[in-house]
Amino acid sequence: MKLRNKINLSTAVLFAALLIIMNISVYFTFSKLILDSELNTARKEMEKTAHDIGKSLGSIPEAELLRSYVPINGMIKIISTDGHARLIVTSPTEQKLAGMKTRFSQGEDSRFITYQKRLYTFESMPIILFDGSVANLQITKSSKAATDNLKVLKLVLLLVTLLALIPVVVSSRILSNLITNPVTSMTNTMKEIRQSGRFKRLPLEGKSKDELFQMSETFNHMIDLLETNYDKQKQFVSNASHEFKTPLTIIESYASLLKRRGLTEPALFSESIEAIHSEAVRMKEMTEQLLLLAKHHEQWNIKKTTVNLHEFLQQTVRSFQGAYHREIHFQQENSEPITVKTDEKKLKQLLFIFLDNARKYSDEAILVILGIEQDMVYIKVADKGIGIHNDDLPKIFDRFYRVDKARNRKMGGSGLGLSLAKEMADAIGIKITVESEEGVGTTANLFF
């Protein structure tokens, strides 16, 4: 069953059930009120009649006395203690009541009785006759007016229920359409995307910011992300293929040379082996970076500890100086100890990326600065190298992007270092900004 039909059916059934329960409650409430009022009226009439008859007994014959108090649609009688009817008087319309069984009651009795499928109020009250004997004065009165009113009420409530079901069904259909239209539109859009292979968005209609609008907006946002990632993936595959093609071509070329002339020319042999080894190392590094970039941040096994940045940076600078024999100056702009909670290994890897870039593109000393600015701890890696053009700055974190492709390839770069740095910084909660001017130098800022 379709969602629209499910909503329509369940809504209609729910409203119908609530309406029926409400009308049944109304009927029984009014029924009790009407019948209680009927019985209460009969009881008061009985008290008044018994009082008047008790005062008039002996002065007026009993038959005439009862005839004057007989209900219009009922019966009045006097029952002796042995249970026999001493006198019975019925109205012309209720003469069949004379055939009812008689019974003497010790006390007052007030209730409804059913006789020949009709409802009556029955009232019984002890009285003292003129001769001093005790008897029951009993009045039976038809409740036809009350039962007729209840029948009319039942019929009205039934008709109201049936008529109310019409707008319920219509409104449930409208409600189901309102809810399912965005879902249907989304489903159709997904089918079109699957069939055409092109990304499409849902039209956002209406000013209401309800959940359905938010669902459509979220769907469009998801399609935007998918399209962006798809485009990036295509570009990434294209760039990766191109980047791997170059070292593979070099390796193939030198391998062919070795195959043809390597055994006879030692110089060519040494050159070929060096070139093949260099390209293999570059491909290995590029593969490791690609694998790391392919992982989610959750898979990086981030382990944050409290790090004293002054000691950490001194050790990192010493390690880098020992590996590359480059002059690096470290300075802290304030004297107090600065500690942060971060992943020490990832932070060292991140700094090595910026120090390595500074080493490649500058010949002068590299400057590493630690400080606090507006309650934010920062590390700056500055060089006085070739710098980056303003048009290139927004793209430096894109994968495989190189400002100077020939120069970077010559220096062994793959265009993945800064992209990896950005991913790593996001994973450990560091914000990166880069300031640069061509011919002056570049400064990378790491904010904690």
How much is the pTM?
0.46
102: closest CA among 127, 136, 79?
Answer: 79
Is the domain spanning 301-447 CATH 2.30.110.10? The answer is no
361: closest CA among 289, 425, 293, 413?
Answer: 413
CATH of domain 3-151: 3.30.450.20
Supply the Cα-derived Rg of the chain in whole angstroms. 50
Domain residue limits, the chain:
3-151, 211-294, 301-447
Determine the 3-state secondary structure of 82 from DSSP: coil
- What's the pLDDT tens digit per position in 96-149? 998 888 888 888 999 999 998 899 999 999 988 887 888 899 999 999 999 999
Considering only the C-alpha atoms of the chain, give the largest distance between any 2 of them, rounded to a whole number of Å.
Answer: 160
- What's the pLDDT tens digit per position in 370-424? 998 888 899 999 999 888 888 788 788 776 666 654 444 445 455 667 877 888 8
Cα distance between residue 213 and residue 203, in whole Å: 10
Say how many C-beta atoms besides its own lie within 10 A of residue 174's C-beta. Answer: 13
In terms of Cβ atoms closer than 10 Å to its own Cβ (0-12, 13-18, 19+), residue 16 is middle
Cα distance between residue 86 and residue 130, in whole Å: 13
Cα dihedral value 101, 107, 110, 115, nearest 10: -10
- What's the pLDDT tens digit per position in 207-251? 666 767 777 788 888 888 888 777 767 766 766 676 677 678 778
CATH of domain 211-294: 1.10.287.130
For helices 3-56 and 62-69, give the axis angle rounded to 10 degrees. 150
Residue 60 DSSP label: B
Say how many C-beta atoms besides its own lie within 10 A of residue 376's C-beta. Answer: 10
